[in-house]
Amino acid sequence: MSSAPLASAGQLSIWTDVDPEHELDFNRWYDREHMQERMSIPGFRTGRRFRSIVSCPRPYLALYDTDSVQIFRSNAYRQAFAKQTDWSQRSFGRMRDTQRRVGELTVEVGRVEGGALALFVIKDDSPMLDHIKAGLQAVVSRDHIVRASLLCTDVALSAPLSATATPAQADRVAMIEATDAASAFDAASSLASQLPAEQVGSVFVFQMMMRLGN
């Protein structure tokens, strides 16, 4: 039996706004084509979509969990990323202020997925990252909290979807999932408040729209 440690799960995060004129078609594209295409790539475990329930500059969030970050270096993924459908090309062009992140889940506690998710972005050079990791490990002991994770952005793998999009930064995204939005928001806000303001972004909370996978 191998004693090698298990690889951390990988994750693709697409956090975006969309032109309201095309919002219905954008959601139809996700519902009927895009998520199914991504989930057909070997190594993709689950795909989920969320919509913000608070004021947010990017109200839509899609998360794809994979067996490892190496999936995003595979030929199957590169081919899928390079060969986009016409519908995908139109939809990418309608996204606004998109943040695309690919990386490892360096913290992943709790196997249950929550219907509500709260997140905040942390600067990669924050001296309190170990403190945040410990906080995420512990937060699942709170009532209604079912999962906590930390995405470490791999800049080289996080190419933007269009030439006009802002390039990815070396950062982390802390995510807390719960059975209700208030619990997710309160837990994330409590953890984020322990960081200096210049190291952490605002807390946003989302409701799950759909899920595909095992």
pLDDT in tens, the chain (214 residues): 444 445 789 999 999 999 999 999 999 999 999 999 999 999 999 999 999 999 999 999 999 999 999 999 999 999 998 889 999 999 999 999 999 999 999 999 998 999 999 999 999 888 888 999 999 999 999 999 999 999 999 999 998 877 667 788 999 999 999 999 999 999 999 999 999 999 999 999 999 999 999 7
Query: What is the CATH architecture assignment of 10-213?
Result: 2-Layer Sandwich (3.30)
pLDDT at 198: 93
Is the CB of residue 33 less than 8 Å from the CB of residue 88?
A: yes
Is the CB of residue 76 less than 8 Å from the CB of residue 126?
A: no
pLDDT at 214: 75
Element containing residue 150 per DSSP (H, E):
strand 145-153
Q: What is the distance of C-alpha 148 from the center of its chain? A: 12
pLDDT at 82: 86
Rounded Cα distance, 185 and 190, in Å: 8
pLDDT at 3: 43
Task: State the pTM of this model.
Answer: 0.94
Rounded Cα distance, 117 and 115, in Å: 7
Element containing residue 61 per DSSP (H, E):
strand 60-66
pLDDT at 6: 59
pLDDT at 187: 98
What residue ranges do the domains of the chain occupy?
10-213
Q: Is 170 helix (H, G, I), strand (E, B) or coil?
A: coil
pLDDT at 126: 82
